[in-house]
Chain A
Amino acid sequence: MSKIGKRNYLSLVEALFAIALLAIFFNLATMFYYDGRKTAMKSMDKASHARSVSTLAENWRNFIHTASEPVKVEADKILFKNHAAIEVKNGQLVFSKPDGQKSFALAKNFTASFELEKNPGESPLLVLYLKSKGSKGQVLKDKFIRIAAAAGGGGK
Chain B
Amino acid sequence: MKNKKLKTRGFIMVEIVVALGLVALLGVCYSASVKTIDRMDRAFTNDARALQTISNTVERLAQKKRYGNDDIRKIFLDEFSKSGFTADPKITPLVKTETDGSKLALLRANGKAVIEVKILCRK
Contacts and interface: CB of A to CB of B under 8 A. Distances in A.
Q: Tell me if chain B binds chain A.
A: yes
Contacts of A75: none
B60 A150 contact: yes
Give the interface residue-count category, chain A: 20 to 34
A143 interface: yes
A154 B65 CA distance: 9
Interface string B31-48: 001100110110011001
Given A122-B63, A147-B52, A50 B45 contact: yes
A69 to B, nearest CB: 14
Interface stretch (B82-90, B94-102, B103-111, B112-120): B82-90
Given A36-B30, A156-B64, A145 B52 contact: yes
Contacts of A39: 34, 37-38
Nearest to B8: A8
A123 interface: yes
B64 A155 contact: yes
Interface string B47-82: 011011001100110111100000000000011001
Contacts of A2: none
Nearest to A10: B9
A31 to B, nearest CB: 10
Given A46-B41, A145-B49, A146-B82, A35 B60 contact: no
B48 A156 contact: no
A150 to B, nearest CB: 4
Interface of B: 9, 23, 27, 30, 33-34, 37-38, 40-41, 44-45, 48-49, 51-52, 55-56, 59-60, 62-65, 78-79, 82-84, 87
Closest 3 CB pairs of A and B: A142-B87, A148-B56, A150-B63
Interface of A: 8, 25, 28, 32, 35-36, 39-40, 42-43, 46-47, 50, 53-54, 57, 61, 119, 121-123, 125, 142-150, 154-156
16 contacts: A25-B23, A28-B23, A36-B30, A39-B37, A46-B45, A61-B59, A122-B64, A143-B45, A145-B52, A145-B84, A146-B56, A146-B84, A147-B55, A148-B60, A150-B59, A156-B63
